[in-house]
């Protein structure tokens, strides 16, 4: 029996796989249940590179946050932050810009419970249990509980989470609501699975993910680019994730031989314009 664990709220349906816990499994974490592992293995059967892809995603997150710290960002709003794992945003922030604030937001009960327990006593880090599709409520909590000051620049992170916001929820409107709540000079970081390279294969992944609590979709680069409306993309733009300011040695040692189609994941960081 896997319930009764400190990180697992008793009122969740552990038979229903969750995106957050499958992602944790792919990253080698232990905050997942048999149903998550089973479905993750099915996703991996159609997309064998999945563990490499999620690792590349985490590495991008680290590089983007470090770059934003270097640009002087003092506030991070990490939407769909996931189950805490190696290289969490607040750890990168602590290493590069101690004193900056991080607010984690996730709708997954396990992600929230584990993050809350882990970060209870960590200064300048707050965990909010909320659905990012409700920007007004998220921002209210981020200010009231997390101490964000919206009169100063904020980096909004949407790293591998927009795939879980289907078109009927109007993701562009949601992203724009966060943009409009932040001042010019704020930033937006996005990574997103793309269907540009292997439409058939990623379509099969979508079919597997339809069985989770948060079905996911891949999008084209053009579709992802529109989320940056009102932002100026930093160099090198919206690109294949392994090409966003890579560490030179990482590119040489790329586990997928630098084959961007095997990643099918793109990323970019934009600066909010006046
Ligand atoms: C693939 S994980 C990415 C985690 C982290 N951002 C990263 O890149 O390492 C997606 C996360 O988004 C969360 N999520 C999905 N839809 C959400 C929503 N509507 N509101 C808040 N969180 C959401 C999931 O619970 C999960 O933890």
Residue nearest to atom 10 of ligand 1 (CA): 161
Residue nearest to atom 13 of ligand 1 (CA): 80
Q: What percent of the chain has pLDDT over 70?
A: 97
The beta-strand segments (E) located in 34-186 are: 75-79, 101-106, 125-129, 155-159
What average pLDDT score do residues 156-185 get? Answer: 98
Q: How many angstroms does the Cα of residue 240 sit away from the middle of ligand 1?
A: 20
Residue 117 predicted with pLDDT over 70: yes
Residue 140 has a pLDDT of 97
Where do the structural domains in the chain lie, given as residue ranges?
49-197+223-272
For CA atoms 237, 215, 202, 63, the dihedral sign is positive
Q: Does domain 49-197+223-272 have CATH number 3.40.50.150?
A: yes
Q: Which residues form the pocket of ligand 1, taking CB atoms under 6 Å from any ligand atom?
A: 19-20, 23, 57-58, 61, 80-82, 105-108, 111, 131-133, 159-161, 164, 214
Tokens 């989320």 belong to: 227
76 phi/psi in degrees, rounded to 5: -125, 130
Q: How many angstroms does the Cα of residue 264 sit away from the middle of ligand 1?
A: 18
Question: Could you tell me what percentage of the chain is helix, strand and coil, using 3-state DSSP and rounding each to the nearest 5?
Answer: 45, 15, 40
Q: Which of 50, 82, 127, 213 has most ligand 1 atoms within 8 Å of its beta carbon, as the pocket-test mutant?
A: 82
Residue nearest to atom 8 of ligand 1 (CA): 159
What average pLDDT score do residues 84-105 get? Answer: 95
- Band (6; pLDDT cuts 50, 70, 90): low
Q: How many angstroms does the Cα of residue 105 sit away from the middle of ligand 1?
A: 8
Residue 190 has a pLDDT of 98
For residue range 193-233, what is the model confidence (pLDDT) as tens digits? 999 999 999 999 999 999 998 899 999 999 999 999 999 99
Q: What's the rounded Cα separation, in Å, for the pair 196 and 85?
A: 29
Residue 24 has a pLDDT of 93
Q: Which of 7, 17, 19, 110 has most ligand 1 atoms within 8 Å of its beta carbon, as the pocket-test mutant?
A: 19
């Amino acid at each position: 029996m896997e319930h009764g664990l400190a990180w697992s709220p008793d009122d969740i349906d552990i038979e229903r796989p969750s995106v957050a816990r499958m992602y944790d499994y792919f990253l080698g974490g232990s905050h997942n249940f048999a149903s998550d592992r089973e479905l993750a293995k099915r996703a991996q059967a159609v997309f064998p590179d999945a563990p490499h892809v999620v690792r590349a995603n985490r590495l991008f997150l680290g590089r983007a946050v470090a770059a934003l710290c270097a640009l002087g960002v003092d506030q991070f709003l990490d939407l769909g932050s996931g189950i805490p794992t190696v290289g969490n945003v607040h750890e990168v922030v602590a290493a590069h810009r101690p004193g900056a604030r991080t607010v984690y937001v996730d709708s997954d009960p396990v992600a929230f419970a584990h993050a809350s327990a882990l970060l209870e006593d960590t200064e300048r880090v707050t965990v909010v249990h909320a659905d990012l599709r409700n920007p007004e409520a998220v921002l209210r909590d981020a200010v009231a509980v997390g101490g964000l000051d919206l009169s100063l620049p904020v980096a909004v992170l949407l790293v591998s989470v927009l795939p879980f916001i289907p078109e009927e929820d109007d993701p562009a409107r949601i992203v724009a609501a966060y943009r409009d709540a932040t001042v010019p000079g704020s930033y937006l970081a996005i990574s997103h699975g793309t269907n540009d390279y292997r439409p058939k294969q990623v379509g099969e992944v979508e079919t597997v993910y339809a069985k989770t609590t948060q079905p996911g979709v891949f999008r084209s680069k053009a579709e992802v680019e529109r989320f940056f409306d009102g932002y100026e993309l930093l160099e090198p733009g919206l690109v294949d994730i392994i090409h966003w300011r890579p560490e030179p040695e990482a590119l040489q040692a790329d586990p997928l031989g630098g084959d961007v189609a095997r990643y099918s994941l793109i990323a970019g960081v934009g600066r909010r314009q006046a």
